[in-house]
Amino acid sequence: MKLLLQNAHIEGIRFYDAYRKNGGYQSVEKAFKMSTDAIVEEVKKSGLRGRGGAGFPTGMKWSFLAKPEGVPRHLVCNADESEPGTFKDRYLMEFLPHLLIEGLIVSSYALGSNATYIYIRGEYAWITDILEQAIAEAKQNGWLGKNILGSGFDCEIYVHRGAGAYICGEETALIESLEGKRGNPRLKPPFPAIQGVWMRPTVVNNVETLAAIVPIINMGGEEYAKIGVGRSTGTKLLSVCGNVNKPGVYEIDMTISVEEFIYSDKYCGGIPNGKRLKACIPGGSSVPIVPANLLFKTAKGETRMMNYESLSDGGFATGTMMGSGGFIVLDEDQCVVRHTMTLARFYNHESCGQCSPCREGTGWMYKILKNIENGQGKLSDIDLLWDIQRRIEGNTICPLGDAAAWPVAAAIRHFRDEFEWHVLNPEESQRRNYGIAHYADPLPMVGAV
Amino acid sequence: MSIKFSQEQLNKVQEVIARYPEGKQKSALIPLLHMAQDTFGGWLDAPVMDYVAELLHILPIEVYEVATFYSMFNTKPVGKHLLEVCRTGPCMLNGSDEIIDYIKSKLGINEGETTPDGLFTLKPVECLGACGYAPMMQLGKNFREHLTKEKVDALISELTAKAGN
Amino acid sequence: MSEVQNFKVTIDNITVEVAPGTTILNAARAIGGEVAPPAMCYYSKLKDSGGKCRTCLVEVSKGSEKDPRPMPKLVASCRTTVMDGMEVKNITSEKVLDARKGIVEMLLINHPLDCPVCDQAGECDLQNLSYEHGSEKTRYEFKRRTFEKEDIGPYIQLHMTRCIMCFRCVYTADQLTDKREHGILDRGDHAQISTLLGKSLDHDFIGNVIDVCPVGALTDKTFRFKNRVWFAKPVDAHRDCPTCKGKVRLWMRGEEVFRVTARKDEWGEVEDFICNDCRFHKKETKDWVIEGPSVVDRRSVIAQGHYQGKVGMVKEQPRLIDQVIGKAPKLLMDIHSISDVNRPDVDLSQIEGPAHSDDFE
């Protein structure tokens, strides 16, 4: 089932004419006949959860927005997609820019934002151009500007390009950056819904979340909620990378199993070269890595499905998280230690340096992992790593500390033998990888010759 | 080189500042630094940052703080072509380490160094959001994806030839 | 007229009433003693300071009377306001002590530990913090991050290697001067305090960055290597200053004024910011009206060697540990039960010359 990408293949859909011809901007027409409260109500009914990673209910977030008299409010679209493994928003903006603009207009109307900003990561320079062109087209056709559709509502959308900082995906850091400052996260409270950008009430939503507003308005919140399962309603974009036959962006309705997602030709198409699956990080680099033997079945023995609840079943002991939908697959020849080291290096590089546990701890973890990877580690280093991550987690200003701690914790939790092997076999570990060991793919090798 | 935007650019500056509420012109800092870096030699020298501070009526230190925070702003000179090769997890799984090593040996430079002719700078970077198209690098405004040694060869000859003309 | 209802908050089993809007840290300071969490970055006189160092983390075991749920994570007490009926655990929480130990370790991994040659030694917040909450050895085995020493102006030296990134000096320059010249450059573990261009900091009040610095990263060049703070005698003095209130603390040895600082309260915060003129140029006793010896915390190293028999000048700290834990400290070992030489009936001071085992027979 596709709600966002169903038209992605249509020629010229990037441009206004083709987009409009295929039903584009209908949700704006519909929404402007509704009251703003009714729109928020539809979003609440839809059960839509933030698609940026945290999965917080969008309707609830919107209803928290303070509305003091005479103070402007702002909607900010978080397009600072930087979580390793995640590139779904890029796909959406690159190929369906008008879908995002449409969602932004409806959301701006619902929240009363007359100036809405898209904060896009600096490296997506060419997408900035695509979005600016789409905004210009929308404006030419009367969907933006003054008194849109005679409703009396004015709205402008501006693209604000960042300059390379993962931390700006955190909403308060994003707000700081939008104000022209360093991307240092703010202490909460106050929450952005009360004091956000320029101390005004602000809602920050992910690209995919805002695009999903379009089908929600078109079909109604209740219909949208019927798609999916339980509290995982609607569809979710997943960006697949690593060792799969068909990396790319897929839209799923959260009712398929993880196994089907990896091995079906409709999606990832299995692992290349007939190799076996070793591990998977299903929600972007900060969520826990899970070995193959815990990936397809939950600890209770149930089939693990591609949705928020099922992926997190078993907590961090045996489960993981849906996260941002950056689906990273590791085949049997990959080294978990090296992979974890690159992630630790990433978080060390991206730490803003504001609070002590993250500033000092991320670099420390990276250095230890580098030693282990290079055959210079000690067995006590593994316990030390565990202790450092434990003392970073939960003790930092923003979630980057947790994001840096979890991958290290999960790698040690599930692949401790591989770390030990690296330490005990320093020379051999430089020549070959550990392999697959006991966390072997429990399934027959689908698609293998 | 005199540090001053053209009239056309100055109009653009005003347009960018107008995107933000009155008195919040500091918000235009990052967009202006991008413009300045593109205009004044691919990096931000102190006088360039002072000029931007002047345009926005903010203190120079406020500009320095921001320019040194974001990884896309170069506060030291770089080669004409900045080869920014991603090496984070998903790219590593697909062989980015080999690509980086190959570029190093081909150009005879180390990470962060510039070739003697000033043409190329190699800068390994962290995730650029192209994980499904790994390995990849950023070159100017665009991404070069699904890199192979052959593609690197072709790219370097193309850019070298362009510089020769 | 109805008065604003105070909030009742219980910290480490001691209840105190504070005005709404008070932070947990300030409520704990109102109780005083060991109940007050350590603060390396928070500074009550600097707006927006705090929240960064994470040493003041506490456990909120009960959110409020209305919503008694505990807070899921430890919170920065310096930036979290109290609610009515809130219950907080500081030194009574294992979780807090463990986290704090971790944070002290992180703060120290890149700190040079050059206390023997550091002017701040003896009045260093990081030293005190490590003494109370740290481990005696580090598990960090890598090269420490270092920076070159930098003179930022004629009076102030920046020793960035010692910095713990509390941001206090940046807020000071922002809030006391009209043109900030230094700031935080770079990010993550490379972040540093700098002017970028080696500029000199000159503003009438910029010297206060030395006083707010919790470590020896910003030191007074006019005092550099001149003396140890515990050898100098702090004396409160004032003068008629056209720029500031002129209420200072002189650090003297004999008749000589070694340095001038602002007066600090029991939490190590300056009472009134002073101007550069008072700080750097008034180094003669004749410049000042001496008020008398400063009140010094008895536990401080500064108190050592001074004021014997004049305890009145040294502030007694109430012993709260009994109240908090609910029992007296345990006597681990009675020396007399294992030692032959320490007999209570023999007065060592009555023995002439070194004591000998024969003396105790």
**CATH (domain of B23):** 1.10.10
Res. C334: pLDDT tops 70: no
Final residue of a domain: which of B29, B44, B69?
B69
The model's pLDDT over C201-231, given as tens digits with 9 standing for 90+, comes to 888 999 999 999 999 999 999 998 888 888 8
Mean pLDDT, residues A329-342 taken together:
94
- pLDDT for res A446: 42
Q: Give contacts of A 139-178 with B, CB under 8 A.
A: 156, 158, 160-166, 177-178
The C-alpha atoms of residue B103 and residue B153 are separated, in whole angstroms, by 9
A345 in B contact zone (CB under 8 Å): yes
Res. A355: pLDDT tops 70: yes
- pLDDT for res A351: 96
Inter-chain CB proximity B65 and C185 less than 8 Å: yes
Comparing alpha-carbon positions, the chain B residue that sits nearest to C182 is B61
Domain around A242: 232-331
φ, ψ dihedrals at B61, nearest 5°: -60, -30
Mean pLDDT, residues A414-432 taken together:
92
Instruction: Answer yes or no: do A321 and A262 share one domain.
Output: yes
Mean pLDDT, residues B154-159 taken together:
94
Instruction: Answer yes or no: do A239 and A185 share one domain.
Output: no
In a domain, C297, yes or no: yes
Res. C255: pLDDT tops 50: yes
Domain around C361: 331-361
- pLDDT for res A435: 82
Instruction: Answer yes or no: do A65 and A205 share one domain.
Output: yes
DSSP state of C64: -
Q: How far is A147 from chain C (nearest CA, A)?
A: 40
Report the CATH number at residue B125.
3.40.30.10
What confidence tier does B95 reach under pLDDT thresholds 50, 70, 90? very high
Comparing alpha-carbon positions, the chain B residue that sits nearest to A159 is B19
Instruction: Answer yes or no: do A24 and A129 share one domain.
Output: yes
C265 in A contact zone (CB under 8 Å): no
What confidence tier does C1 reach under pLDDT thresholds 50, 70, 90? very low
- pLDDT for res C134: 80
- pLDDT for res A14: 96
Q: In this structure, are residues C47 and C175 in contact, taking their beta carbons and an 8 Å threshold?
A: yes
Instruction: Answer yes or no: do C273 and C312 share one domain.
Output: yes
Report the CATH number at residue A34.
3.40.50.11540
Instruction: Answer yes or no: do C323 and C245 share one domain.
Output: yes
Instruction: Answer yes or no: do A54 and A191 share one domain.
Output: yes
Comparing alpha-carbon positions, the chain C residue that sits nearest to A367 is C142
Res. A444: pLDDT tops 50: no
In a domain, C158, yes or no: yes
In a domain, A263, yes or no: yes
Instruction: Answer yes or no: do A30 and A175 share one domain.
Output: yes
What domain count does chain B have? Answer: 2
- pLDDT for res C138: 86
Instruction: Answer yes or no: do B17 and B60 share one domain.
Output: yes
What confidence tier does C301 reach under pLDDT thresholds 50, 70, 90? confident
How high does pLDDT run on average in chain C?
Answer: 86
What domain count does chain C have? Answer: 4
The C-alpha atoms of residue A53 and residue C170 are separated, in whole angstroms, by 34
Q: Give CA C47 to chain center in angstroms.
A: 18
The C-alpha atoms of residue A261 and residue A252 are separated, in whole angstroms, by 9
- pLDDT for res C150: 87
Q: How far is A362 from chain C (nearest CA, A)?
A: 9
Mean pLDDT, residues A248-275 taken together:
93
Q: How many CB pairs under 8 A join A and B?
A: 145
What confidence tier does C321 reach under pLDDT thresholds 50, 70, 90? low
Instruction: Answer yes or no: do C88 and C47 share one domain.
Output: yes
- pLDDT for res C135: 79
What confidence tier does C323 reach under pLDDT thresholds 50, 70, 90? low
Query: Cα-atom radius of gyration of chain A, to the nearest Å?
Result: 22
Q: Choose the weakest-confidence range: B6-15, C48-57, C197-206.
A: C197-206
| HSE-up (13 A, CA, CB side) for residue A110 | 32
Final residue of a domain: which of A199, A226, A253?
A226
The model's pLDDT over A37-51, given as tens digits with 9 standing for 90+, comes to 999 999 999 999 999
> Using CB atoms, which residue from B28, B33, B132 is nearest to A87?
B132
In a domain, B74, yes or no: no
Inter-chain CB proximity C185 and B59 less than 8 Å: no
Report the CATH number at residue A355.
1.20.1440.230
In a domain, A4, yes or no: no
Report the CATH number at residue A260.
3.10.20.600
Instruction: Answer yes or no: do B158 and B92 share one domain.
Output: yes
Q: Give contacts of B 18-77 with C, CB under 8 A.
A: 46, 59, 61-62, 64-65, 68-69
Res. C273: pLDDT tops 50: yes
Predicted-complex ipTM score:
0.94
In a domain, C109, yes or no: no
What confidence tier does B120 reach under pLDDT thresholds 50, 70, 90? very high
Res. C356: pLDDT tops 80: no
- pLDDT for res A449: 34
- pLDDT for res C310: 42
Res. A424: pLDDT tops 80: yes
What confidence tier does C311 reach under pLDDT thresholds 50, 70, 90? very low
Instruction: Answer yes or no: do A394 and A375 share one domain.
Output: yes
Instruction: Answer yes or no: do A75 and A145 share one domain.
Output: yes
Nearest of C186, C175, C221, C188 to residue C43 by alpha carbon? C175
What confidence tier does C308 reach under pLDDT thresholds 50, 70, 90? very low
Res. C326: pLDDT tops 60: no
Q: How far is A351 from chain B (nearest CA, A)?
A: 10
C259 in B contact zone (CB under 8 Å): no
The C-alpha atoms of residue A330 and residue A344 are separated, in whole angstroms, by 17
Instruction: Answer yes or no: do B94 and B154 share one domain.
Output: yes
| Touching chains, A (3+ CB pairs < 8 A) | B, C
Instruction: Answer yes or no: do C192 and C215 share one domain.
Output: yes
Nearest of C43, C145, C137, C53 to residue C103 by alpha carbon? C53
Final residue of a domain: which of A284, A310, A331?
A331
A243 in B contact zone (CB under 8 Å): yes
Mean pLDDT, residues C85-105 taken together:
93
Res. A448: pLDDT tops 50: no
Instruction: Answer yes or no: do C317 and C350 share one domain.
Output: no
Q: Choose the weakest-confidence range: A127-136, A161-170, C32-41.
A: C32-41
| Touching chains, C (3+ CB pairs < 8 A) | A, B
What confidence tier does C34 reach under pLDDT thresholds 50, 70, 90? confident
Instruction: Answer yes or no: do A246 and A183 share one domain.
Output: no
Q: How far is B90 from chain A (nearest CA, A)?
A: 5
Instruction: Answer yes or no: do C56 and C75 share one domain.
Output: yes
Instruction: Answer yes or no: do B34 and B57 share one domain.
Output: yes
Instruction: Answer yes or no: do A315 and A170 share one domain.
Output: no
The C-alpha atoms of residue C267 and residue A182 are separated, in whole angstroms, by 30
In a domain, A417, yes or no: yes
Comparing alpha-carbon positions, the chain A residue that sits nearest to C40 is A356
Q: In this structure, are residues A351 and C189 in contact, taking their beta carbons and an 8 Å threshold?
A: yes
Instruction: Answer yes or no: do B65 and B90 share one domain.
Output: no
Instruction: Answer yes or no: do A295 and A344 share one domain.
Output: no
Q: How far is B54 from chain C (nearest CA, A)?
A: 14
Instruction: Give whole-number Cα distances, A100 to A4, A31, A73, A121, C227, in Å.
Output: 10, 15, 20, 16, 66
In a domain, C1, yes or no: no
C109 in A contact zone (CB under 8 Å): yes
Domain around B13: 7-69
- pLDDT for res C132: 84
What confidence tier does C270 reach under pLDDT thresholds 50, 70, 90? very high
Res. C324: pLDDT tops 80: no
- pLDDT for res C360: 63
Res. A279: pLDDT tops 50: yes
Instruction: List CB contacts (< 8 A) between C197 and chain B.
Output: 46
| Touching chains, B (3+ CB pairs < 8 A) | A, C
What domain count does chain A have? Answer: 3
Mean pLDDT, residues C188-212 taken together:
91
Res. C77: pLDDT tops 90: yes
In a domain, A439, yes or no: no
The distance between the two most distant Cα atoms of chain C, rounded to a whole number of Å, is: 79
Instruction: Answer yes or no: do A357 and A423 share one domain.
Output: yes
What is the pTM assigned to this prediction?
0.91
Instruction: Answer yes or no: do C166 and C82 share one domain.
Output: no
What confidence tier does A228 reach under pLDDT thresholds 50, 70, 90? confident
In a domain, A390, yes or no: yes
Helix H, strand E, coil C: the string for chain A is: CCCCCCCCCCCCCCCHHHHHHCCCCHHHHHHCCCCHHHHHHHHHHHCCECCCCCCCEHHHHHHCCCCCCCCCEEEEEEECCCCCCCCHHHHHHHHCHHHHHHHHHHHHHHHCECEEEEEECCCCHHHHHHHHHHHHHHHHCCCCECCHHHCCCCEEEEEEECCCCHHHHCHHHHHHHHCCCCCCCCCCCCCCCCCCHHHCCEEEEEHHHHHHHHHHHHHCHHHHHHCEECCEECCEEEEEEECCCCCEEEEECCCCEHHHHHHCCCCCCCCHHHCCEEEEECCCCCCCCEEHHHHCECCCCCECECCHHHHCCCHHHHCCCCCCCEEEEEECCCCHHHHHHHHHHHHHHHCCCCCHHHHHHHHHHHHHHHHHHCCCCCHHHHHHHHHHHHHHCCCCCCCHHHHHHHHHHHHHHHHHHHHHHHHHCCCHHHHCCCCCHHHCCCCCCCCCC
In a domain, A442, yes or no: no
Contacts 24+ apart (CB under 8 A), C10-15: C10/C86, C10/C87, C10/C88, C11/C35, C11/C58, C11/C87, C11/C88, C11/C89, C11/C90, C12/C88, C12/C89, C12/C90, C12/C91, C12/C92, C12/C320, C12/C324, C13/C92, C13/C323, C13/C324, C13/C326, C14/C320, C14/C323, C14/C324
